Amino acid sequence: DAKTTQPTSMDCAEGRAANLPCNHSTISGNEYVYWYRQIHSQGPQYIIHGLKNNETNEMASLIITEDRKSSTLILPHATLRDTAVYYCIVLIREYASNTGKLIFGQGTTLQVKP
């Protein structure tokens, strides 16, 4: 199973871009990188996912290195409401059951400060 490594915590000034790194050096060619976040013990919320191309949606951008061994989630203009634990996850595919299981690590606690 491909594992991810994230910093335990990060700070970001309100209005600035928040760049959250993730290492996944053992990722396989058909595994996707997903990002979720969890705000104050609520249920996790999907943010974005990608395979090898950079992706952008209304919430964030995902930059994946060419060798796919690391990625960065970018929140372009962080607000206080973005304070949360951010999880970088590599999708593990179970071929027998034909589905993927989301396996969470420890995540990065992002503190957005005024």
Partner 1 sequence: NAGVTQTPKFRVLKTGQSMTLLCAQDMNHEYMYWYRQDPGMGLRLIHYSVGEGTTAKGEVPDGYNVSRLKKQNFLLGLESAAPSQTSVYFCASSYSKRNTEAFFGQGTRLTVV
Question: Using the rule CB under 8 A, is 7 a contact of partner 1?
Answer: no
Question: Using the rule CB under 8 A, is 103 a contact of partner 1?
Answer: yes
Question: Using the rule CB under 8 A, is 39 a contact of partner 1?
Answer: no
Q: Supply the minimum distance, in Å, between the C-beta of residue 15 and partner 1.
A: 28
Separation in Å, CA 68 to CA 2, 26, 29, 72, 111: 12, 9, 9, 11, 27
Question: Using the rule CB under 8 A, is 53 a contact of partner 1?
Answer: no
Nearer to partner 1, 81 or 114 (CB): 81
Question: Using the rule CB under 8 A, is 98 a contact of partner 1?
Answer: yes
Nearer to partner 1, 17 or 26 (CB): 26
Nearer to partner 1, 17 or 39 (CB): 39
Q: State how far the Cα of 79 lies from the Cα of 109, in Å rounded to an integer.
A: 14
Separation in Å, CA 65 to CA 13, 30, 37, 53: 25, 15, 21, 9
Question: Using the rule CB under 8 A, is 101 a contact of partner 1?
Answer: yes
Q: Are 36 and 89 in contact (CB under 8 A)?
A: yes
Other Cβ atoms less than 10 A from the Cβ of 76: the count is 13
Q: State how far the Cα of 66 lies from the Cα of 93, in Å rounded to an integer.
A: 22
Residues that bind partner 1 (CB under 8 A): 32, 34, 36, 41-46, 49, 85, 87, 91, 93-94, 97-107
